[in-house]
Amino acid sequence: MAIYFIGDIQGCFTELCLLLKQAKFNKKKDELWVAGDMVARGTQSLETVRFLISLGSSAKIVLGNHDLHLLATFHKLKKVKEKDHLTDILHAPDVENIMDWLANQPLIHKLPNENVYMSHAGLSPQWSSEVALKQAQKAHKLIKSKNRVEWLSKMYGELPNNWEKAKTDVEKFRYTINALTRMRFCHEDGSLDFNCKNTPNSAPKHLKPWFTLSKELNNDVQWIFGHWAALMGQCSNSNAYALDTGCVWGGHLTLLRWHDKKTFIQKKLP
């Protein structure tokens, strides 16, 4: 059995199929770990989600910010963004099943018997991996609960951006969603910044990539993440693996085979 990690698919289904064929992925014995943002800016979001659902237990998914926004849009908490291609999903005959499947996906997956974790955006510098997993599980429980709509309505907002200031259940929930699905840069004290999406070299000096501030990644903990296309797979911390390589923006999809760290690449088709 081989375990493959992939970053933001973003509805690039044709490229996904070609990439899996290139790697000789076998759904009967291999696992595909998807670091969130399965949908949105590409034109084949419905095909992507249906395929991942069809993989059953061979697919290990974490939710990204676009996946959560799709859930919020379905529940009429937000309007569809013009640049998103979600109409096919929202009008699909199986949309209810798709939304239930999405809501039941976690925010963090841990590789069995290894200190290897996957979330969409990374690991907050203010958290240990144990705290991150605990908070992710709490948020996951709320999102899949009968009170899903109420909690999804509370995830929007940028405060608190510091874990030490998250006192109420709502504040802890919002911080958890933001840290695990929206984070890129942090301030020196570890608090989250939501404005800068640049490369680390072109960012303001007072901002640092989350993976340069995390002490946890120096303690044999490895983290798989997507979300940050500007990195194009380049990460200064050897224990962090950046897998969003901007396929939907004209870049490519990257697939990482875990046991030998071999990468497979599929460029965006014209």
Residues contacting 246, CB < 8 A, separation 6+: 8, 229, 230, 232, 252
pTM value is: 0.96
Quick check: 253 and 147 in contact, CB under 8 A?
no
Q: pLDDT for 169-215, tens place per residue?
A: 999 999 999 999 999 999 999 999 999 999 999 999 999 999 999 99
88 in Cβ contact with 74 (< 8 Å): no
- What is the set of domains in the chain, with CATH numbers? 3-267 (3.60.21.10)
pLDDT digits (tens, 9 = 90+) for 6-33: 999 999 999 999 999 999 999 999 999 9
Q: What is the pLDDT of residues 212-256, one digit of tens each?
A: 999 999 878 999 999 999 999 999 999 999 999 999 999 999 999
